[in-house]
Amino acid sequence: MVTDIHSYSNPTESRVRHVELDLAVSFAEKKLRGAATLTLDQAGKTLVLDTRDLHILRVNGSSSGFMLGARDKFLGAPLTIPLAPGVRSVVVEYETAPEASGLQWLEPPQTAGKKHPFLFSQSQAIHARSWIPIQDSPGVRVTYSARIHAPVPLTPLMSARVVRPGHFHLPEPIPPYLIAIAVGDLQFQAIGQRCGVWAEPSVLKGAAWEFADMEKMVAAAESLYGPYRWGRYDLLVLPPSFPFGGMENPCLTFATPTVIAGDRSLVSLVSHELAHSWSGNLVTNATWSDFWLNEGFTTYIERRIQEALYGRRQSEMEFAIEVGELKDEMKDLPPADQHLAVDLKGRDPDDGMTQVPYGKGALLLRKLEEKYGREKFDAWIRSYFDHFAFQSITTDQFVAYLHQSFPNENLDAWIHHPGLPPDAPKISFDFETKPRKAWVTAEWLHWLRSLAEDLSAPKMADLDQQWDFTHAGNSEVAAQWLLMAVRAKYEPAYPRLQEFLVQVGRRKFVKPLFEALVKTPDGRARAQSIYQQARSGYHPITQATVDAILK
């Protein structure tokens, strides 16, 4: 076991191997209440679990009660349980706090259907501890089962196989951040034998059409990197407050509705979350400083899936956009945060979720592909997944395994230094310069970003009159246009800006818009006014991000 600076747990002494949850969902109180039975495969004198704002009611299996330690703003509080001799399971009865950082409780008006409330979790990076007392480290993999008591007529779902309604089981060991729950007015539509979409009734038809290629994506990924090992691959479309584009919860990817563009132009997100079934879920970063092992591999594999299904042109176009976003973000990042192996001591691991582990990590793998040839490198990646299957590993373990096949490869400049090394691949794409309606999202984004950053308001008005960007239905295009509108002080876009920030809680969009607003006194006042209206609808993760911007 590698020491995880973001966990209080003691898996080298007492290690949890299976978690059994029995939880009741109370929308009135905004709480989960019930018990977690933790089965140990090794037990010492004490068991230390991670918690955050949990109310511990009682513990069975302890020799002398329990002790809840002092709360740290990032790590929460350790729950120390003295173990009775011979004990191999502990039952913790508890309830969550209404403000649990890993849960969002939505009122009916905040949903698509407007009739029923909605609950969903987001456990990555260290938010599982806010709704489960657990050894909340990616290095401590567990199997889990659950029984969820949800109010009728709502449907509970989890990142596991459905045994029967409300009962779930996942026999494959996963890191705790992949344990997920959702409860809402949900319906299902199958897409092939292994794939399907869950969504609110009014969203389901459009979502199923948008994600019609899911089964083909699974087949493409399997042909490259080996069998899909999680049974089903379903997708749940969440309300727009979901803080990320997607979350790769096994058996059930959580996805933002902002990728439903009506033209299937944003489905690379599904390729990305599917790729996590190999990189992240099957082989996992052992600590959050190794996060690039999850996201760099996944971004690289996403590109390969996109190429297999939609051609090299589409894949390279999307990669060029991602590399551009990486370079833009690195301009404002401290040098130490541009390392692949990032130092997160004393920090929230969410701070490491920049474009660096995604884009720079993918470029490193692209460099190895170009240097050693695709056929040889593909065989190595497949062997990497087989060798480390269902394990959590460090960057050093990755390097050591790489050196078994490529002994002379020096990756120090990539892993431990800022910026992109001189040998970084040049991802270029010959974008058209004259816009036309047939363009896909990547082309619009490249063209908009290529315009002068100090674009005048009159010029913005001319573009808006021609293309009606202010009312764009594509969320990626809308977010880019609104960012430009803030910089140009283009007032006709301000009502849409407010509407967008109130309705959409996706961190990728929200963060840069608020950061741009606060650069001027008028913009800061506008940001504070909008946030006062929007905050209650944001997930706690997004709230924390914007709170820091506006503090």
Residues carrying an active site annotation: 273, 358
| Locus of tokens 């019609």 | 212
User: Which secondary-structure segment (H or E) carries 220?
Assistant: helix 214-225
Q: How far is CA 415 from CA 291, 383, 408, in A?
A: 12, 22, 16
Contacts by residues 146-150 (CB-CB < 8 Å, ≥ 24 positions apart): 146/20, 146/21, 146/22, 146/23, 146/181, 147/21, 147/22, 147/23, 148/21, 148/23, 148/25, 148/181, 148/183, 149/23, 149/24, 149/25, 149/34, 150/25, 150/183
246 is in an annotated binding site: yes
Q: Look up residue 467 and give its amino acid.
A: W
Q: Do residues 70 and 21 make contact, with C-beta atoms less than 8 angstroms apart?
A: no
245 is in an annotated binding site: yes
SS3 label, residue 327 = helix
Residues pairing with 161 in the sheet: 169
508 is in an annotated binding site: yes
533 is in an annotated binding site: no
Q: Do residues 216 and 309 make contact, with C-beta atoms less than 8 angstroms apart?
A: yes
Helix and strand counts by DSSP (H, E) for the chain: 17, 21
Whole-angstrom distance, CA of residue 61 vs CA of residue 81: 9
Q: Do residues 393 and 290 make contact, with C-beta atoms less than 8 angstroms apart?
A: yes
388 is in an annotated binding site: no
506 is in an annotated binding site: yes
Whole-angstrom distance, CA of residue 500 vs CA of residue 479: 8
User: Which secondary-structure segment (H or E) carries 119?
Assistant: strand 118-121
247 is in an annotated binding site: yes
For residue 359, which of 440, 432, 414 has the smallest C-alpha distance?
A: 414
272 is in an annotated binding site: yes
Other CB atoms within a 10 A radius of the CB of residue 524 amount to 15
SS3 label, residue 549 = helix
Helix H, strand E, coil C: the string for 440-466 is CHHHHHHHHHHCCCCCCHHHHHHHHHH
276 is in an annotated binding site: yes
Q: Which two tokens stand for residue 544?
A: 């924390």
244 is in an annotated binding site: yes
For the beta sheet containing 118-121, the strands, ordered from the edge strand earlier in sequence to the opposite edge, are 103-106, 118-121, 181-184, 155-158
Whole-angstrom distance, CA of residue 238 vs CA of residue 357: 25
27 is in an annotated binding site: no
| Locus of tokens 């389901």 | 204
Burial of residue 255, with CB atoms counted within 10 A of its CB: 0-12 exposed, 13-18 middle, 19 or more buried: buried
Burial of residue 374, with CB atoms counted within 10 A of its CB: 0-12 exposed, 13-18 middle, 19 or more buried: exposed
- CB within 8 Å of 341: residues ≥ 6 apart: 289, 290, 292, 395, 415, 416
SS3 label, residue 191 = coil
Binding-site members for a peptide are: 122-124, 243-248, 506-508
Annotated binding site: 122-124, 243-248, 272, 276, 295, 506-508
Residues annotated within a binding site for Zn(2+): 272, 276, 295
